[in-house]
C-alpha cells in the first residue's frame, strides 16, 4: 500500500492531465454530437425525403459500426482525404459523429412521440413551421430526452477510453504509461476505473438534478 501511495504521488500530474483530457474530449464531443443529433433528428422526422434518407443512412451506418472502428477509421482515413487532424482532433471528430447518430435517433423518437394534435393546434393559430419547432415541439421533446441524453453523455465518457488506441493521452493511456513503469497493474487500473466511475457518477447526479428542476 505504501509503495502504491508513493507511485501515486509520482504519477499525480500524469493522471491529472489524463483526467483533464478525458473530460475535455468528452465535453466537446457531447456538445458537438448533441448539435449534430438535434439537426439529424429534426431532419429525420420532418425533412424532405432525400435529406431524411441521407440522414437515415448516416444514422444506421454509424450506429451499426463499433466506436473503435469509427475512431481508427477517422484517424487514418481523414488524412488520406486531405484533412490533417491531430490524434485528439480525429478522436473528437469520431466521437461527435458517433454521439450525433445516437442523439439523432433519440431526438427523432421524442419528436414523433409528441401527439399530432400539438402540431395541428399550433398550425391553426398561425405559427410557421420553424416557430412550431422552436416553441411547441422541441421544448417538449427536449424534456423527454433529458434522461437518455445524460445516459449518452456517460456512454461517451466511457467511449473516450478508446482514444488511447490512437495515442491520445487521456486517462486510460496515462494509466497504461504509469503501469508500464511501475508494474502495479491491479492498483492503477482499479484507480482508473474508480476515476471513471466518479466522473460518470457526477454526470448522473447532475442529470438527476436537472431532471428534478425540469419536472418540478
Partner 1 sequence: MDYYFRFGVVWANFDKLLQGLALGLALALVAIAAGTIIGIVCAFAAAGGNRATRVGVNAYVSIIRNTPILVIVLLVFFALPQLGVRLDKYQSFIASLAVYAGAYLTEVFRAGLSGVPRGVIDAGRAIGMTGVQVSTYVVFPIMLRNSLPAMGTTFISLFKDTSIATAIAVPELTFQARKINVETFRVVEVWLVASGLYVATCLVIAAGLRQVERRYSRL
| Residues at the site binding partner 1, with contacts judged by CB under 8 A | 60-61, 63-70, 72-73, 76-77, 80-82, 154, 157-162, 164-165, 172, 176, 179, 185-186, 189-190, 192-193, 196-197, 200-201, 204
The owner of cell 458517433 is 98
CB of 191: closest distance to partner 1 in angstroms?
A: 10
Closest to partner 1 by CB, 137 vs 170, is 170
Cα 66 from Cα 76, distance rounded (Å): 16
Instruction: Classify the phi-psi angles of 183: left when phi > 0, otherwise alpha if psi is within -120 to 50, otherwise beta.
Output: left
Contacts for 211 with CB less than 8 Å, ≥ 6 apart: 146, 147, 150
Contact indicator for 15, 171 with CB cutoff of 8 Å: yes
CB of 22: closest distance to partner 1 in angstroms?
A: 10
Phi first, then psi, for residue 167 (nearest 5°) are 85, 25
Closest to partner 1 by CB, 60 vs 120, is 60
Closest to partner 1 by CB, 155 vs 211, is 155
Contact indicator for 32, 99 with CB cutoff of 8 Å: yes
Closest to partner 1 by CB, 34 vs 164, is 164
CB of 147: closest distance to partner 1 in angstroms?
A: 13
Of 29, 89, 100, residue with least CA distance to 59: 100
Closest to partner 1 by CB, 132 vs 159, is 159
CB of 192: closest distance to partner 1 in angstroms?
A: 5
CB of 135: closest distance to partner 1 in angstroms?
A: 32
Contacts for 21 with CB less than 8 Å, ≥ 6 apart: 88, 168, 169, 170, 171
**Cell reading at 17:** 492531465
Amino acid at each position: 500500500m505504501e509503495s502504491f501511495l508513493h507511485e501515486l504521488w509520482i504519477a499525480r500530474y500524469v493522471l491529472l492531465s489524463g483526467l483533464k483530457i478525458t473530460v475535455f474530449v468528452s465535453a466537446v464531443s457531447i456538445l458537438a454530437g448533441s448539435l449534430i443529433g438535434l439537426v439529424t433528428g429534426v431532419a429525420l422526422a420532418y425533412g424532405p425525403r432525400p435529406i431524411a434518407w441521407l440522414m437515415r443512412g448516416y444514422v444506421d451506418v454509424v450506429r451499426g459500426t463499433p466506436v473503435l472502428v469509427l475512431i481508427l477509421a477517422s484517424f487514418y482515413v481523414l488524412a488520406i482525404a486531405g484533412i490533417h487532424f491531430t490524434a485528439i482532433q480525429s478522436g473528437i471528430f469520431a466521437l461527435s459523429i458517433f454521439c450525433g447518430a445516437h442523439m439523432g435517433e433519440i431526438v427523432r423518437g421524442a419528436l414523433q412521440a409528441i401527439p399530432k394534435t400539438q402540431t395541428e393546434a399550433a398550425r391553426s393559430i398561425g405559427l410557421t413551421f420553424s416557430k412550431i419547432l422552436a416553441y411547441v415541439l422541441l421544448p417538449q421533446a427536449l424534456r423527454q430526452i433529458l434522461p437518455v441524453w445524460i445516459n449518452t453523455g456517460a456512454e461517451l465518457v466511457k467511449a473516450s477510453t478508446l482514444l488511447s488506441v490512437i495515442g491520445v493521452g487521456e486517462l486510460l493511456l496515462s494509466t497504461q504509461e504509469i503501469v508500464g513503469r511501475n508494474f502495479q497493474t491491479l492498483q492503477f487500473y482499479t484507480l482508473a476505473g474508480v476515476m471513471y466511475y466518479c466522473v460518470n457518477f457526477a454526470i448522473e447526479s447532475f442529470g438527476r438534478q436537472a431532471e428534478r428542476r425540469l419536472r418540478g
